[in-house]
Structures are given as structure tokens and as C-alpha cells.
Amino acid sequence: MANSVIIKFCEDDDQITAAYPIMAQLRPHLDEAEFFAQIRRLMQSGYRMVSANIGDEVVGVMGYRFLEDLARGRTLYVDDLVVNESNRDQGIGESLMKVAEMEAERRDCETLRLCSGLQREPAHRFYEGIGMEKSSYAFVKKLI
């Protein structure tokens, strides 16, 4: 890649707002105000968001949190991972996932996990390409 990718932890209002156009590619149901409010609520319970930047432009976003369960122990769980459509296949997603792996190791996690929609076959190939394996199905029941 000609330009270097800089990873930033999104903590202030401007960084969160700058991440919205990219996150909207993955979560189009959220308008900007909803997105901002929900990110702030999620952050209160431990959600972290990082952006991948080329210059001043946000080109990728990842949101994650830490959890622990009986099945897999302490885990870094990636809730959201998206790279701007025009910047895919440049190593940006891999850079974001390396940050997740480093954060997981720093916090003594046993696993790095995520769920991906069944329709996202290119994403599945990406995850398998960086050493992740399919290990289960996720089941969902809409309540509202």
C-alpha cells in the first residue's frame, strides 16, 4: 500500500463522528445521531472502537469488547469490522484484526471471536485467510 495506515482509538466526539460513514456501510439501519448515542452507551459498558486512517480519512472501523464465558473463557469479541468498499483488499482489515489480537493478548484473553452473517461470504474468506476458523452457528430470535 502506498500510504501508511494509522490506527486510532476513537474516544472523542470528533473521532466517533468521523467513523460513522464507514460504519454505516456495515450498519446502514443507524442514522448518525443514533450511531453516536449508541456508541456512547456501548462505551459505558466496555465497548472500544478503533479506526484505520490514511491521512485524515477514516477507511476502516472496528468495534470490540471483552467478555468471559464458560465455553471459551476470556474473549475479545469483535462486534463490528468494516473497511470502506473502495479500500478493501489493501490489508486494512488485517491491520485492524492485528490490533484486536494485540489487545486480546494484552488482556490475557484465551480467544478472539466474532460472528458474521451467513450472506457475508467474502468476509468469511477473509477471516479464514487470517487464521480464524468457523466454530459454531449463532442463533437469533427477534423480540421487538
| CATH 3.10.110.10 applies to domain 6-129 | no
pLDDT in tens, 11-26: 999 999 999 999 999 9
pLDDT in tens, 99-142: 999 999 999 999 999 988 878 888 888 899 999 998 888 888 99
Query: Which residue, among 120, 122, 121, 117, has the nearest Cα to 137 in the 3D structure?
Result: 117
pLDDT in tens, 54-82: 999 999 999 999 999 999 999 999 999 99
Report pLDDT for 1: 45
Q: Domain ranges in the chain? A: 6-129
User: Model-level pTM?
Assistant: 0.90
Please, are residues 42 and 80 in contact by the beta-carbon 8 Å criterion?
A: no
| Calpha distance 13→20 (Å, rounded) | 11
| Calpha distance 61→69 (Å, rounded) | 26
Report pLDDT for 117: 83
| Calpha distance 67→49 (Å, rounded) | 15
